[in-house]
Structure 1
Amino acid sequence: MQQLPELQNCTVLSLSGCEQLQQLPEQLPAGLIGLDCSGCRALQRLPAQLPPKLVNLWLSNCTAIEQLPEQLPASLTHFDCRDCRELQQLPPHLPPKLVNLWLSKCTSIEQLPELPPTLQVLDCRGCSALQQLPAQLPPKLKYLWLSNCTALEQLPALPSSLFNFQCAGCSSLRQLPDLSQCQVNHVYLRGCDGLK
C-alpha cells in the first residue's frame, strides 16, 4: 500500500513498519492524539497541518523525510524522529508543552532551535553534524544524551535539574561546563579525546 484512504473518527493511527507507504492524507482526523509512522521508509513528507490535538508523534526510521511541517501542534508532548537521516532541520518553534525530544542518528541536523522550558529528555546521540546547542537549555531538563556528536565543540551551561548526562565519543569537545550545581548521577565521557 502506497497511500491511505481518507480516515475519520480514529484517535490513534499506527502505521509502524509500512515500508511502502509514500504519503498520508492531507486531512488527518481532527481528534487524532497519536500518530506512529515508525519505519515508514518511503514516506517523504507529513501533511502541512497536523491534527491540533496530537500528543504523540513517532517518525523514527522515516529515512526519506527531509523536512517537517513549519509548525507542529501545540499539544505535542512526545516527538520521536530518531534515524531520520535526511532531515535537515527542526521547525523554528517547537511545541510549548514538549517533554521528550528524540533525535538520535539524525545525521544531517547541524543546529537546534530554541527548546521549550517543559523539555525533560533531549536525545541527540549520533547527530554527527550537530555543531551547537541552544545558548540556554531548558530548566527542567533531566536527560541530555549527546554521545557521538563528533562536530560538537562546546556546550552551554547545564541546568541544575540534570540527572543523566552522556557525551561519550564527542571527539571535538574541548571542555565541559560546570557540573557542580547539577543533580547528575550518571556522566559518560569515554572517547572525548579533545577534553583538556
Structure 2
Amino acid sequence: MTALSELLADKTAIKKLPSSFGLLRNLKTVSLSGCKGQSSKSWMSRFSSWILPKGSNAINLLPSSVSGLCYLTRLVLSDCNLSEGGIPIDLGSLSSLKTLNLSRNNFHNLPRCIGRLPKLNALWLSKCTSLQSITELPTSLRSLIADGCTSMERLSIQSIQKSSPFFSLARCHKLVEIQGLESLESTPSIHMEGCYNLANDFRKSLLQFLFKGDGRCASLPPDSEIPNWFSLQKIGSSISFHVPTHSVGEIQGLLVWATYTTKEESDMMIIGAPYAIIKNKTKGHQDTFVPTFYATHVTCEDNSCVWRIPLKRYQFVMESGDEIESIIVGEEIKVKKCGIHLLVNEPDVLVEYGTMVQQVDFDTASAKDGKIVCAKRVRDDNEAGTSTPNEEKFPKRLRIEFEAQE
C-alpha cells in the first residue's frame, strides 16, 4: 500500500478513511467525488443538526491529519457533503498540491487552510450554494472555478500573484464585487454570465480594467452594452472598415466587442466560446483570436464578450488605407451586434460605463473617402471649467468615428 500513487474511489461506499491514509507518502492523486462520508456523532454535532439546515453536519471523511501526503498533486472532494469542519486543519501543509476540487459542498466560508497551499494552481468550488464569500486565496492560484455559488456576495483576489489568472463566476447571482482586481499584474480571463447583482461602481471599474488588458478575453455581466464611444458598430456578426489616415502615432491594438444570444431558447447553456477572426483584406492575411477559456455560459438574453488585441504581439500588420474585416464566430450563438475601437499609441482607455469617454486634444485630418470624422479638442463634462491637479491622471487620446461599410 505504501507504493500506491492513485486512489480513485468516486461514488463508493467509503464512509471514513483510516488515520493511516495520511501516511501514504507516494499518493499523487486522490479522488473521492460523491463519497458522502460519515456524520460526526458528537453531542455538539447533534445539537447543530437541530439549528442548522439539513445536510450541514460536519463530515469526517478524511482523517484529522494529512500532512504525510507530501507528493499529492490532485485532490477531488466534490459532492462529499463537506462543511468547514470536514477539512483537516493541516491541509495547507500539502506542499505539492496543484488541483483541489471542493465543488458541491456545504461551506459557508472557504477554510483558511486552503490559503496556505503554496503550489495550488486550480481551485474548484462550483455549486457550493451556501458559500457566502471567498477570501485568503493562495498566492499561486491561476484558476478559480466558482460557477453557481448562488449565495456568494464577495470575492477577494488580493492575495493572488500569478499573471493572467482565469475566473469562472457564472450564475453567482448575489455577487456584488471582486475585491483586488486592480492589483493584478495582467488582465484575467473572466466569466460573469448571470451575475445580475453587481454594484454599478464595480461594473465601471471592471470595464476600465479589462480595456487596459493584454490580449485577454472576457465574458461580461448581463446587460453590458457596447459603449457609445466604440468608434465602429454594426448589426450582425461582421464589420469592415478602412484603416484611417491620422497624424499622431500608429495603431497599437483593437478592442473588439460582440453581443450575442443562443440560437435556441434556454435559461443557461454551456457552449464553445466565441472567437474573433480579423482579416486584412488588402494584404491578404488573417488571424484568429481564441479565448483562453474553451467554453462559456450563455442565456437567451443578450451576452457580451470583449477582446483586447495588441497588434504587435500577434504580428498583425495594419496600415493606413488597408481594408479590415472582423468576424465573430460561434457554433451555437447568434451574434446580434459587434463593435471595434482602435487604440492609438497604447492609450489608457479610462471610461465611465454608459457615459462619454474622455476625449482628445489632437488635431487630425479626415480621410479622403469621408468615412472618418475626427474629434478636435473635445472635452467631456468632467473637464469643463477650471483645471485641477487631477487632470494629470487623464492622458490624451485619439478618438476616431467611422461609418460602417454596408
Please indicate the TM-score interval, normalised by the length of the shorter structure. Answer: 0.7 to 0.9
In structure 2, give the amino acid aligned to 1:39: G
2:218 to 181, 186, 196: 186
Q: Partner residue of 1:172?
A: 197
Q: 1:88 to 1:136 in 2, by over 3 A?
A: same
- Structure 1: how far apart are the matches of 2:130 and 2:70? 28
Kindly indicate whether residue 90 of structure 2 is the aligned counterpart of residue 59 of structure 1: no
- Structure 2: how far apart are the matches of 1:48 and 1:188? 42
Offset of residue 66 of structure 1: 1.6
Trace 1:60-139 onto structure 2 (pairs within 5 A). 60-62=78-80, 64-67=81-84, 68-72=87-91, 73-84=94-105, 86-93=106-113, 94=115, 95-134=117-156, 136=158, 138-139=160-161
- Structure 1: how far apart are the matches of 2:118 and 2:125? 18
Kindly indicate whether residue 60 of structure 2 is the aligned counterpart of residue 49 of structure 1: no
The answer to whether the Cα contact below 8 Å between 2:150 and 2:171 also exists between their aligned partners in 1 is: yes
| CA offset digits 1:19-60 (Å, max 9, x no partner) | x32111122112212110012134533212122322110112
The answer to whether the Cα contact below 8 Å between 1:139 and 1:161 also exists between their aligned partners in 2 is: no
Kindly indicate whether residue 7 of structure 2 is the aligned counterpart of residue 13 of structure 1: yes
Offset of residue 13 of structure 1: 0.7
Q: Partner residue of 1:4?
A: none
- Structure 2: how far apart are the matches of 1:191 and 1:91? 34
In structure 1, give the amino acid aligned to 2:3: N
Offset of residue 167 of structure 1: 0.9
- Structure 2: how far apart are the matches of 1:81 and 1:91? 11
Q: Partner residue of 1:3?
A: none
Q: 1:136 to 1:179 in 2, by over 3 A?
A: same
Which runs of no fewer than 5 residues in structure 1 stay unpaired? 1-6
- Structure 2: how far apart are the matches of 1:53 and 1:105? 28
Which runs of no fewer than 5 residues in structure 2 stay unpaired? 39-58, 225-352, 355-406
Task: State the TM-score, normalized to the length of structure 2.
Answer: 0.42
The answer to whether the Cα contact below 8 Å between 2:73 and 2:98 also exists between their aligned partners in 1 is: yes
Q: Partner residue of 1:32?
A: 27
Offset of residue 123 of structure 1: 0.8
Q: CA RMSD in A?
A: 2.4
Alignment length, in residue pairs?
A: 186
Whose helix fraction is larger, Structure 1's or Structure 2's? Answer: 2
The answer to whether the Cα contact below 8 Å between 1:69 and 1:91 also exists between their aligned partners in 2 is: no
Trace 1:125-164 onto structure 2 (pairs within 5 A). 125-134=147-156, 136=158, 138-140=160-162, 141-156=164-179, 157-158=181-182, 159-164=184-189
The answer to whether the Cα contact below 8 Å between 2:210 and 2:218 also exists between their aligned partners in 1 is: no
The answer to whether the Cα contact below 8 Å between 1:143 and 1:164 also exists between their aligned partners in 2 is: yes
- Structure 2: how far apart are the matches of 1:121 and 1:135? 11
The answer to whether the Cα contact below 8 Å between 2:135 and 2:157 also exists between their aligned partners in 1 is: no
Q: 1:129 to 1:191 in 2, by over 3 A?
A: farther
**Between 181-190 and 7-16, the greater mean CA deviation after superposition:** 181-190
Q: Give the ranges of 4+ consecutive aligned residues of structure 1 lying more than 3 Å apart after TM superposition.
A: 160-163
- Structure 2: how far apart are the matches of 1:154 and 1:61? 27
* Higher Rg: 2
